[in-house]
Amino acid sequence: MKLDDTWFTEICEDAGSAFSLKITSKLHDEQTPYQRIEIYETQKYGKLMTIDGLVMLSSRDNFIYHEMLSHPVLFTHSDPKDVLIVGGGDCGTLLEVLKHQSVCKVQQVEIDERVTRLAEQYFPELCIANNDVRAEFIFEDAIKWVKGSKDARYDIIIVDSTDPVGPAEGLFTTAFFSECIRVLRPDGIIVQQSESPLIHGHIIKSMYVAMREAGFDNVQSVLFPQSVYPSGWWSATMASKNELLTEFREVDAKKKVFKTHYYNKDVHQGALNYPEFFSEYI
């Protein structure tokens, strides 16, 4: 929602709050078969992509979200080789995943191809790994894709989705998580963006319940800042059947051979710790 022609404003009814960015121009406005995608140039945050009036990413701070959705789970798994990204059309998560040399194959299943094509045009810095031979793009309904996938196919599933409304609503259910546990290998891990711990506790709590009902015995969230999202505080939640999620390859994380802007070993360790009220959700 726009306050006027010089500000983009997203109102969060759940929090009784709003967040605004000063814009200098609108670069793109398109209604796809699935959603409305708008792209703006902002005064201080670079380019801004919104979907159905909600902020998806900005040039200035997207690295926090993409790194924290990717590197904690990849360094928690002992040897990640085959990765599935559900959603992630802007390709920022794909870029981070492909920094890991152990990864042999990444399939990105995004329902709306236009998100990716517009990211290539307006956020090319996120798409520099799109031609990596390990990357495969599939523009289909990810729920159907997972349901049609063979057993024990992936080491890691990363669900980089929008909020649990519209096309993404089915990604937050026991039925979907049950299919994910089937297509994961015995030591496989799923991670999913899980909204704000401050204002979306009901969503986080329902995810924990759904993941456990699906058969994931271990569930663990990581918490991190994200200034353009409601409350400025966000989370991602990992789940596994067998693997402990509070432990990770600390030596490998400390000696990582690639550059990050936010993630490091100490950030990972800190993100595993919960504030007192979080116990209400888990």
Neighbours of 277 (CB within 10 A): 10
The answer to whether the CB of 222 falls within 8 A of the CB of 72 is: yes
Q: Residue 21: exposed, middle, or buried by beta-carbon count in 10 A (0-12, 13-18, 19+)?
A: buried
Q: What CA–CA distance (Å, rounded) separates 157 from 183?
A: 9
Q: Which of 61, 90, 155, 160 is an active site residue?
A: 160
Catalytic status, residue 160? yes
Q: What CA–CA distance (Å, rounded) separates 60 from 88?
A: 18
Q: What CA–CA distance (Å, rounded) separates 49 from 150?
A: 34
Angle of helix 201-214 relative to helix 174-183, nearest 10 degrees, comes to 50
Catalytic residue set: 160
